[in-house]
Amino acid sequence: MVKKTRKEINPQQDVRETGAAETGEETTGTAPEDLQASPVDRELEEKTRECAENYDRYLRAVAELDNYRKRAAKEKAEAIKYGNESLIRELLPLTDSLERALQHADKSNDFESFKKGLGMLKDQLLCCLGKHGVEPIECACKQFDPNYHEALMQVTSREHENNQIVDELEKGYLLNGRLLRPAKVTVCKRPDDNGTC
């Protein structure tokens, strides 16, 4: 009986072992470890991708915020520039009426008609301002209030109470309840019973 060597039984297995020995690999029948990604590598790739997405979102948010700031600044500048447009549009007919009144005054010597026309213009102006929240401060027979009145003079009078407004020199106005201009007034200072101030 003749003994067969390993080479003779399976010559292909020998070739595989020889090739593996030359390259330094072990033949185990499974794929090499470096061809499969480890869980740590997969997690690192996922976190890197997530980081890149977050950075992209951050850049987009910063750009959107910058665009919003620019747009808001532009809208604010336009609101300031054209904010009085409706008021001015309502005042234009008043200027037309003033021009007509001046033309009429050149042709006529009727002072009473001219005075009546000026009163109508004043009413038209106050009506226009009233639509926009402007209202006059009432001063007649009121007590002096430094929040709404500016005293220009003090007068001695027995007919008025102490610190009562005697005369209004310049009208004051409120804009939607806020002081726009104080009324300039004269205020009473009552004399003592001996006649001294």
Assign residue 185 the CATH number of its domain.
Answer: 2.30.22.10
Give the per-residue pLDDT at 111: 82
Give the per-residue pLDDT at 2: 53
The SS3 of residue 115 is helix
Q: Which of 180, 169, 186, 187 is nearest to 147 (CA)?
A: 180
Averaged over successive runs of 10 residues, the pLDDT of the chain (197 residues) comes to 52 50 49 65 92 95 96 93 86 88 82 86 90 90 91 89 91 93 92 57
Give the per-residue pLDDT at 13: 52
Give the per-residue pLDDT at 193: 55
Give the per-residue pLDDT at 116: 87
Q: Where in 3-156 does DSSP place strands (E)? A: 134-136, 149-155
Give the per-residue pLDDT at 12: 52
Give the per-residue pLDDT at 10: 52
**Quick check: is 139 in a domain?**
yes
Give the per-residue pLDDT at 159: 86
Q: How many domains does the chain have?
A: 2
Q: Which residues pair with 155 in a beta bridge?
A: 188
Pairing assessment for the beta strands 173-175 and 134-136 based on DSSP bridges: antiparallel
**Quick check: is 144 in a domain?**
yes
**Quick check: is 30 in a domain?**
no
Q: Which residues pair with 83 in a beta bridge?
A: none
Q: What is the largest CA-CA distance in the chain?
A: 162
What residue numbers bound the domain in which 75 lies? Answer: 38-81
**Quick check: is 66 in a domain?**
yes
Q: What is the DSSP letter of 143?
A: B
How many whole angstroms separate alpha carbon 63 and alpha carbon 96?
Answer: 50
**Quick check: is 155 in a domain?**
yes
Please say whether the beta carbons of 114 and 101 come within 8 A. Answer: yes
Give the per-residue pLDDT at 110: 82
**Quick check: is 158 in a domain?**
yes
Give the per-residue pLDDT at 65: 96
**Quick check: is 149 in a domain?**
yes
How many whole angstroms separate alpha carbon 79 and alpha carbon 74?
Answer: 9
Q: Which of 100, 124, 126, 125 is nearest to 113 (CA)?
A: 100
Q: How far is CA 90 from the centre of its chain?
A: 26
41-61 in b/e form (b: 16+ CB < 10 A) is eeeeeeeeeeeeeeeeeeeee
Please say whether the beta carbons of 197 and 156 come within 8 A. Answer: yes
**Quick check: is 6 in a domain?**
no
Cβ-based neighbour number of residue 148 at 10 Å? 18
How many whole angstroms separate alpha carbon 173 and alpha carbon 129?
Answer: 10
